[in-house]
Structures are given as structure tokens and as C-alpha cells.
Amino acid sequence: MKKTIITALLAIMALAHAGAAKNYPENSDYLWVTVPDHDNWTYKVGEEAIIDVQFYKYGIPRDATIEYSIGGDCLPDDTHGKATMKRGKATINMGTSRKPGFRDLRLTANVDGKKYTHHVKVGFSPDKIRPYTAEPADFTEFWQSNLSRAAAFPLKYTREPAPEYTTDRVEAWLIKLQTDREGHSLYAYLLVPRGAKPGSCPVVLTPPGAGVKRIKRVAEGMYYPENGVIRLVTEIHGLDPRLPETTFDDIRAAFDGRVKGYLYQGLDNRDNYYMRHVYTGLVRCIDLLTSLPEWDGRNVITQGGSQGGALAIIAAALDTRVTLCVANHPALSDMAAAAAGLTGGYPHFTEKDGMLTPEKLETMAYYDVANFARHVKATTFMTWGYNDNTCPPTTSYAVWNTLACPKECLVTPINEHWTSAATDRAQLDWILSKLKK
């Protein structure tokens, strides 16, 4: 069942409430409102998209001349124009698209000597988007070989209490899991319902978003163990989350000062790429979870957003024990499309010179979520937004349209690269409703 948030004004009001206005600067005096003439922001190829644009300062409509440009999803502008606001309103015809995809209206208004910017994307027959990336002929064999090699190493981890996350309802543990014979490891927080009986709990693996950083959003997800679900919240670099933040700063700087630096490492060769041990490490995490006496023996769930959403899908494809998958705007999706001048997924390899060589493009195909999506059997829930420039909606649709498993989605057009707390909490409700009894 496909659900779509279609009322832009209601969404804006919800975003503005309680300082949660992530699409708009918090504590700001100004507000853009952009309302496509199709309520779901979606058109058929060949249909024109008309956008009602409104601008307010202090809640008062302001007249201004808008400069605008239009281009493909995360692609250069191909159209420019101006529009005049009267009583804070103007109408802009975005034209159409002759092929399935997204068009982005980028807006700039000069008001009181300052520039204010905004953008809105609309889709054209996005259900027909297909990935550019092709699956290598030996894709399955390559990953089966890697998984077999990892599985030959005995499950080995340490476990110590994590009092910072322990409550009267949750027992928390800090885990260090060695994932292979090569010495790779990862840290994770294991959250177990206090007093859980043997064989009573589903297990959820939550891999991280991109970056070299501490394990994030542990406390925000305590409602998982509080509702009887064991959760493993991981990082992927083998870095103790108790290290000082200055140490993480130094490590980030060592990866050329950009959080995506490790995603470039070893890309010339599929066997040397940094993410190889990360992908196989996901299965070792599931080995750990399914070894716990509290596991119910039936339900294994993967859940995450951005890079974590990518890893959730990848784990579901690699491990048939996964029964449910929840992925928010997955990264690492249709990455090589940029080589053809199309919309490519994060980490946007075109942003760094020399990243689209034949060798690197060949490696990307073995690590692309679109290729893993074909192999997912678990029932999957996905959510994404149209205004996302980090993990563009084009690449989310490339994954969604490739999934052949039972699936449901929540499309939230106004969202950029985030999900609301309400959406995050609803994902647990979805998981609980789908558990095998």
C-alpha cells in the first residue's frame, strides 16, 4: 500500500511546530511556501507542472522579484527566468519532462537587501524510473564467496555494561565485534528489554548513516527495547564511541577532511574497496543477534536511514534470515549514473576528480544498492522525500522500482534529507504489525 503526504501547507505547519522546521531556517523571520498544482507533486511525462510560489516575512506577504532556475534532480540548470511576486505570490510554469525523472525549481528572492533561497522538486512518471547501474554477471558469486570467507571466522566479540543507556526498562551493553580474520571490527550498543525471557524478542540491526562519528541516536530509539525488541545500533569503522570528540575530529581530517573519504578508499578494485568488510560485517552482526538466548527464533529486522538505509537493504539481500527491512532514503544507490550525465546517488562521486574511471565504475556496481535490491526477499518498508539533495528521489525510486519483494512506502514530498520523529516511531509500529508469530 502506497501512502503519500500531499498537503504542503499542513506539512509546513507541522515542521514549524516546536522548532522542528528542518526545511526552513529555525527561528527565522521568513517562510517560503511552494505548492505544485498536482497535490502529490507527481506528474506524467509530458504534463506541465505549475507551481504557486509564496513568500512571507514576519508572516506578512512580501513583494519581490524572484530569479529562478530549473534543472534535473541534482543536475545543472537548463532553464532560467524571473517572476514578480504580487502580495507575496507568483506562479511559475516549470514545463515538463520527456522522460521519467525529477525537475528541480530553484528560487532566489532579494528582500530588504538579503537573498533568500528555496527549491522544490516534482516528479514525472517516477514509477517508471529504472537504475542505470547494471548488475555484474558474477555479482551473486562474488558476495557468496566473501560471506563464506567471513563465516569461516568464529563469532568473536566482547560485551560490557553501558550504564549511560541502561534504564529500569532496558539493559544496555557496549559490544566490540570482530567481523573477519583480517582484523576488522565494529562497535555497537546492544539494547535488551530488561527481564526478557529466552526466545521472546525480535531483533533489529540498525547500521549508521555516513560519516566517521560516534554512534548516534541511541537514546532516541529506546522505544524499541521498551516495546520488547532487541536492538543493535552500530558504527562501521571499529572506533570506540567512548573516544573523545577531538579524536573523531582527527580521524575525519585523516580521511581528507570529508565524511565520505572512506567511501573513496580502494574503489579501484572490488576486493580492496573499504565497504567490502562493512557489508560482510552486517551478516556477522546478525550472527551475533541470532545467537542471543532472548531472540525469538523467527524475526530479524534491518532498519536505517541514508547510508544506514542502504546497509539495511544490503543486509536483507545478503542474509535470508532477515524477515523485515526498513530503509529511509537509501544512499549508495545508482552511483554510476553520474557517468552518463544522469542523477547519481550519494556519495556523488562526480564531486571529486578522477572518480569515474572504468575500474571505479566496475567496482561501484558490486556495491550498489540497486543491484542488492533485486535479491531482497524480506517484506520492505521505504520512505523518502522529493526535496532531498543528499540521496535524490531519483535514486530512491531506482531502488524502490527494482524491489520485487512485498513492499510498502511512505513518500513525503516536502522532506529533504530527514525523517520526522513521528515517522521514525511509526516504523516500529509497522515492524510490530508484521512480526511472525
What are the DSSP calls for 53-119, one per residue? EEEEETTEE---EEEEEEEETTS-EEEEEEEE-BTTEEEEEEE--SSSEEEEEEEEEEETTEEEEEE
Query: Residues with catalytic annotation?
Result: 306, 388, 417
3-state helix vs strand vs coil in the chain, percent to 5 = 30, 30, 40
Q: Are 382 and 396 in contact (CB under 8 A)?
A: yes
**Burial (Cβ within 10 Å: 0-12, 13-18, ≥19) of residue 192:** buried
Q: Look up residue 239 and give its three cell numbers.
A: 572506533
Buried residues in 238-254 as b, exposed as e (16+ CB within 10 A): bbebeeeeeebeebbee
Contacts for 119 with CB less than 8 Å, ≥ 6 apart? 104, 105, 106, 107, 387
What's 270's DSSP letter? T
